[in-house]
Amino acid sequence: MTYLAKPKLHHPSLTCNALGFTRRDYEGKISTLCAGCGHDSISAAIIQACWELDIEPHRVAKLSGIGCSSKTPDYFLGQSHGFNTVHGRMPSALTGANLANRELIYLGVSGDGDSASIGIGQFVHAIRRGVNMVYIVENNGVYGLTKGQFSATADQGSTSKRGVVNADSPLDLVGMALQLGATYVARSFSGDKQQLVPLIQGALAHQGAAFIDVISPCVAFNNHAGSTKSYDYVREHNDAVNRLDVIEPQAEIAVEYPAGSTVDVRQHDGSILRLHKLDAEHDPRDRIAAMNYMQRHHAQGEVVTGLIYVDPEPHDLHQHLNTVLVPFNVLGATDLCPGVATLEKINAALR
């Protein structure tokens, strides 16, 4: 039995957020992943991000596919409903869930095998549709649960733990998300909580398709020399383009930064993404420039991280479909059934 309950003891001195919740209220069950797994750091970052943003845990719906990453929604936000779907198909289930109730926050957690290999089609189409969601890929370039096979994001020439060299070229999910029209695109590293937490917050505040590729080393099968998704490799090649503060509308903090080094992006919900630019060249509001920047730095062997692109005025699937603002799941027969008189007219027209 791999189910481990977590004791619900709170230390009385734990800090509360505006809702009166401590960070413990955003935790889930005890992780069953390997000690040191990058995915657990991402779960911790999600917990931190939601707690700091004062999100009611039960207003988040967590969806995932199959694999190590897809197990993690059980390990955070224990008061949220979770749906562990089938391999590679989280995006469609999330799309349907989102259609049923537009008021919840949809958090999709997937892996590189789940999204880039078996699920690449669903990844592509959910992003194309502009589903309002936070889509996190916990990217380790490897199949962990089946013990170390390459996934489609493994870099060409990288080696597996057993010494096999990957000959296939990798899929770049960030590049694809940009091309497909995602309105919030970021990459981060599970070992860089300072960067990751605000990127998740920015995505949670974003009212469109937000995609975050998080390089998350697999300590069991992909953390050796020759891997391009190991802790050491990513630390050495990380090229952070910016640092982000997410400022909630009601709590703007006035911090002075040297002129020219920050960019404020006000999102549709009123939150401000304050970017501390580390690379003067990169403007995250320019999709084409972002694509170009990514390609150039990738060719130089650098792993670009940070907020790569954001459209502060995104459209989402509900806008495209012009749906009512009330969640579908509260509509009843009085709203939905056209009634007997209408049916009689329909009958008459069919005679």
Partner 1 sequence: MTLEATTTPASPIRAINDFVVKFSNVNGSGSASANELFAKAILRMGVPVSPRNIFPSNIQGLPTWYEVRVNEHGWLGRRGGVDLMVQMNPQTWDADLREIEPGGYLYYDSTKPLSRSKFRDDVVVVGMPLTEICNRAYSDPRQRQLFKNIAYLGGLSVLLGIDPAVIQKLFAEQYRGKEKLLDANVKALELGRGHALANFEPLGLQVRRADNVGDRIFVDGNSAAALGCVYGGATVCAWYPITPSSSLAEAFEKYCQKHRVDPVSGRNMYAVVQAEDEIASIGMVCGAGWNGARAFTATSGPGISLMNEFIGLAYFAEIPVTLIDVQRGGPSTGMPTRTQQSDILACAHASHGDTKHVLLLPEDPHECFEFAALALDLADRLQTPIFVMSDLDIGMNQRLCAPFRWDEARRYDRGKVMTAADLDAGKDFGRYKDVDADGIPFRTYPGTHADKGAYFTRGTSRDPYARYSERGPDYVYNMERLLRKFDTAKTLVPPPVERIGGKRSRYGAIYYGSTSPAMAEAVEALEAAGIALDLLRVRAFPFPDSVKAFVQSHEQVFVVEQNRDAQLRSLLVNEFDLDPARLPPVLHFDGTPITARFIARAIGERIRTAGPTPAKERVT
Residues in the chain: 351
Q: How far is the CB of 318 from partner 1 (least distance, A)?
A: 8
Quick one: which of 54, 56, 279, 283 contacts partner 1 (CB under 8 A)?
56
Select the span of 93-101, 136-144, 197-205, 290-298 touching partner 1 (CB under 8 A): 93-101
Quick one: which of 38, 67, 78, 314 contacts partner 1 (CB under 8 A)?
78
Residue with tokens 């989280």: 90
For partner 1, give the closer residue by CB, 9 or 340. 340
Quick one: which of 104, 127, 180, 197 contacts partner 1 (CB under 8 A)?
104
Binding to partner 1 in span 110-149, by CB under 8 A = 121-122, 124-125, 129
82 is an interface residue for partner 1 by CB under 8 A: yes
For partner 1, give the closer residue by CB, 120 or 289. 120
10, two tokens: 């709170």
**Cα torsion through 147, 221, 296, 116, rounded to 10:** 20
Beta bridge partners of 111: 138
30 is an interface residue for partner 1 by CB under 8 A: no
Binding to partner 1 in span 196-235, by CB under 8 A = none
53 is an interface residue for partner 1 by CB under 8 A: no
CB atoms within 10 A of CB 167: 8
For partner 1, give the closer residue by CB, 176 or 244. 176
Number of residues that bind partner 1 (CB under 8 A): 65
350 is an interface residue for partner 1 by CB under 8 A: yes
Quick one: which of 10, 58, 235, 296 contacts partner 1 (CB under 8 A)?
58
For 38, the 3-state DSSP assignment is helix
Name the residue among 129, 119, 137, 123 with its Cα closest to residue 39.
137
- CA 71 vs CA 58, 109, 131, 149: distances in Å: 19, 9, 22, 18
80 is an interface residue for partner 1 by CB under 8 A: yes
CB atoms within 10 A of CB 100: 13
101 is an interface residue for partner 1 by CB under 8 A: yes
Q: How far is the CB of 265 from partner 1 (least distance, A)?
A: 29
What angle separates helix 120-129 from helix 173-180, to the nearest 10 degrees?
40
10 is an interface residue for partner 1 by CB under 8 A: no
Strands 303-310 and 238-240: what pairing?
parallel
Quick one: which of 22, 54, 86, 302 contacts partner 1 (CB under 8 A)?
86
- CA 258 vs CA 88, 195, 263, 299: distances in Å: 45, 20, 11, 31
Q: How far is the CB of 266 from partner 1 (least distance, A)?
A: 26
Q: What is the phi/psi pair of residue 188, to 5°?
A: -150, -170
Sequence-separated (6 or more) residues with CB below 8 Å from residue 21:
51, 57
Nearest-angstrom CA–CA distance, 216 and 208: 24
Quick one: which of 81, 147, 235, 296 contacts partner 1 (CB under 8 A)?
81
By CB atoms closer than 10 A (0-12, 13-18, 19+), residue 15 is exposed
7 is an interface residue for partner 1 by CB under 8 A: no
Q: How many C-alpha atoms does 147 have within 13 Å on its Cβ side?
A: 1
For partner 1, give the closer residue by CB, 85 or 166. 85
Quick one: which of 36, 96, 157, 301 contacts partner 1 (CB under 8 A)?
96
What x/- string results for residues 287 through 326 when contact with partner 1 is judged by CB under 8 A? ------------------------------x---xxxxx-
Residues at the contact surface with partner 1, assessed by CB under 8 A: 1-3, 5, 56-59, 61, 63, 73-74, 78-87, 89, 91-101, 103-104, 121-122, 124-125, 129, 317, 321-325, 327-329, 331-333, 335-340, 342-343, 346-347, 350-351
